[in-house]
Amino acid sequence: MKKCLILVFPLLVVLVFVSAILGDGVGLPPADGEKFWTYITETDSYLGWGYWPGYYGIYPGKSLHGAFLKV
């Protein structure tokens, strides 16, 4: 079991590192407020985005964020 973890862990680290380097967010705007706002309101309107998995519609809140939430 330990040998398996010793072999798998470095592989996962390398995969995460390569993914971070190569996955540069193709199609996403740069970290600029105006360009990001244009992207989420015009290019890929947030109004068409789907729900977060497992949170469909409005559901009762359990914290200070409000009585009802929509994710």
Q: What is the pLDDT of residues 6-55, one digit of tens each?
A: 766 777 676 655 555 555 556 777 888 998 888 888 888 888 888 888 87
Provide the pLDDT for residue 17: 58
Q: Which domain holds residue 61?
A: 2-69
Q: How many domains does the chain have?
A: 1
Confidence of residue 59 (pLDDT cuts 50, 70, 90): confident
Taking the C-alpha atoms of residue 12 and residue 35, their distance in angstroms, rounded to an integer, is: 34
End-to-end CA distance of the chain: 40
Confidence of residue 57 (pLDDT cuts 50, 70, 90): confident
Provide the pLDDT for residue 16: 59
Average pLDDT over residues 47-67: 80
Name 56's Cβ contacts closer than 8 Å, sequence gap at least 6: none
